[in-house]
Copies of this chain bind each other. A is one copy, B any other.
Amino acid sequence: MQLQLTSPLDMHLHLREGAMLDLVAPLSARDFAGAVVMPNLVPPVDNLERLAAYTAAVRQATQDHPFAPYMTLFFREYDQATLEAARPHIIGMKLYPEGVTTNSAGGVRDLAAIAPTLELMQHLGIPLLVHGESHGFVLDREAEFLPVYDRLARQFPRLTIVMEHITTAAALDLLDQHPNLYATVTLHHLLITLDDVAGGLLQPHLFCKPIAKRPEDRAALRAAALRAHPKLMFGSDSAPHPLNRKEAAGCAAGVFSAPVILPLLAEFFADHDALPHLQTFVSDTARSVYGVNPPQTTITLAREPWTVPEAYGNVVPFYAGRTLPWQVVERAYA
């Protein structure tokens, strides 16, 4: 049994820099025709010079494959000249909750402070990508942030707002309430719950932010993905950390899923008799939401067992060492 996907897209990806970039970027670029590249480096990608340099580094690291890096700027207050200069080079701006907390009147003040930049983004057609978590109790952070999305969507009705890596049924409910609100969902939030992270032995390689939630939340995300909800895009949030930052006294948040995404998505959609919706979920929806036109690629998967490596370099992948029923058997680049 085979499956062909046309130009898969990963609408939320961490590629890092330096040696890590060189290690992980090809693993995304060989399977995906394009990806939204996150700007949360140290220091962040928050100016045009850094953006140009990082874009060049990503292109260099992915040069062996036809791959469109959809770059993002780290959200801060920018003036019109900067945004206009950036616009041809970015797909959107990524907002992290620092400075936009929902917890207090302070959150409202912060939102007011960034309104001019949001106004410009709306005017210029630059999407806003948001890591939507409050500073509250770890399991409540996404739910507590939803009113911020609600307010932003009302206040800037022509601004495209993407709720990144949603993990709750409540976020899906909100998704349907505003035409300018979209979302990405990761592979791992479709597959695991907090039980997989902490229900037996604690699994640092499954630890991520937002943290995996309850079975009911996963069920809602699964249902939406499997029917290719028209506003829900695939975004892996694949986020590599070296082994010694994961199996450690303080374990960094991030699941490195890049090399196993398409086999696991094929298995998941096949197991739920939803394979006809996978192309929409993993590519078409993003093309339509963002209006992008990625390189033409054809990725063929087959139902042939494949064992995930225990590590790629010093990074342990999602499902390390597990044997998966599907694998990528051919990558055809036009």
The answer to whether A138 and B195 have CB atoms under 8 Å apart is yes
Minimum Cβ distance to chain B for residue A97 (Å): 13
Stretch at the interface among A150-158, A183-191, A246-254: A246-254
CA distance A215 to B137 in the complex (A): 8
CA distance A138 to B214 in the complex (A): 9
Q: Given the known A-B contacts A139-B194, A194-B137, A215-B137, are A202 and B199 also in contact in the complex, defined by CB atoms under 8 Å?
A: no
- Chain B residues positioned under 8 Å from A211 (CB to CB): 198
Please give the distance in Å from A215's CB to the nearest CB on chain B: 6
- Does A203 count as interface, using CB distance less than 8 angstroms? yes
Q: Are A252 and B201 in contact (CB under 8 A)?
A: yes
A198 x B249 contact (CB < 8 A) = no
| A199, B137: Cα distance in complex, Å | 7
Interface: A205 (CB within 8 A): yes
Q: Indicate with 1 or 0, residue by residue over A215-257, a CB within 8 angstroms of chain B CB atoms.
A: 1000000000000000000000000000000011111110000
**Chain A interface extent, by class:** 20 to 34
Q: Tell me the bound Cα distance from A120 to B252 in angstroms.
A: 51
- Kindly state the separation between the CA atoms of A193 and B138 in the bound complex, as whole angstroms: 10
Known pairs A198-B198, A198-B211, A211-B198; A203 contacts B137 (CB<8 A): no
**A207 at interface by CB-CB < 8 Å:** yes
Does A204 belong to the interface (CB within 8 Å)? yes
Task: List CB contacts (< 8 Å) of A123-162 with chain B.
Answer: 137-139
A316 within 8 A of B: yes
Q: Is the beta-carbon distance between B249 and A316 smaller than 8 angstroms?
A: yes
Cross-chain contact of A247 among B139, B249, B316 (Cβ < 8 A) = B249
A250 and B203 contact, CB distance less than 8 A: yes
Q: A204 to B248, alpha carbons, bound, how many Å?
A: 8
Chain B nearest CB from A119 CB (Å) reads 33
Nearest residue, chain B, Cβ from A99: B200
Determine if B194 and A253 form an interchain contact, defined as CB atoms under 8 angstroms apart: no
